[in-house]
Amino acid sequence: MEFEDPAHDPSTEQLAQRVAALRGSRCAICGRSMCGHELLFTVASGSDRTQCLPCLAASVAARSDELRDHFHAHFRQRACYGEVWRQESQREGFAADSLPGCLWPPDAVERSGVAENRMRGQDTPVAVTTRHADDTWDAGPLNCGELVLMLRRRLQALPARSVLRLTARDLGAKEDIPAWCRLTGHRLLEDRHPEYWIERRDT
């Protein structure tokens, strides 16, 4: 069922509650206070501990600004994340449709637009000729944060470069899984919804 107003979508309400529950948390790595947008990054990444943007980027061997821009572009394509992002911007005193100053200095606005355009051209996964998998997991109808949280734990339990065959029936997985793999550094070898073959990153 689609909702004309994303704010009243149960997925949005659930996501907003998860961010609200984390509000006031500090980064588990460096102890820095975190804005609501960084808390949303933590939820989207499936991390089991709160991490500020620099620490989250370091954990996936990415640059902070690139990871930030990837998250932002992904959120714009997902109604529930986009709505909670807007809510957090308004709560912190930023215009709902602007890049919040807590994460973007003024001179970064143009660069972030370039990064989003680049991201849109990276949606096609690498094709492979084999469907070998070291482990399989049927995630059923799990969506949004629940799916990536469990997926992260599943991959963590596997040796580096192992392949997980994931079955994810939520329609949002078509966008969520490729975007999550780009954000975390895991390699999406093949996707034929509802099945996805994901290779665990080296570290």
pLDDT mean over 148-166: 91
Give the C-alpha separation, 66 to 172, whole Å: 23
**Residue ranges of the chain that CATH labels 3.30.110.40:** 135-199
Nearest CA to 103 out of 121, 83, 117, 88 is that of 88
DSSP codes, 14-45: HHHHHHHHHTT-B-TTT--B--HHHHHHHHHH
Residues 6 or more apart in contact with residue 121 via CB below 8 angstroms: none
Domain 135-199 has CATH 1.20.272.10: no
pLDDT at 28: 95
- 110-133 pLDDT, tens digit per residue, is 444 444 444 444 444 444 344 688
Picking from 67, 76, 87, the residue whose alpha carbon sits closest to that of residue 175 is: 76
Q: In the predicted model, what is the mean pLDDT of the chain?
A: 82
d(CA 3, CA 58): 37
Strands, E assignment, the chain:
135-140, 163-168, 187-192, 195-199
Q: What is the mean pLDDT of residues 144-148?
A: 80
- Check residue 71 and give its pLDDT: 87
Positive or negative, the CA dihedral 88, 156, 74, 67 is: positive
What pLDDT does 54 receive?
Answer: 93
Among the residue ranges 37-41, 143-147, 170-174, the one predicted with the least confidence is 143-147
d(CA 104, CA 99): 6
- Separation of alpha carbons 75 and 147, rounded Å: 16
pTM over 0.85: no
Q: Is the pLDDT of residue 57 over 70?
A: yes
For residue range 71-122, list pLDDT tens digits in order.
888 888 888 899 999 999 999 888 877 888 899 876 554 444 444 444 444 4
Q: What is residue 126's predicted lDDT score, i.e. its pLDDT?
A: 40
Would you state the pLDDT for residue 63? 85
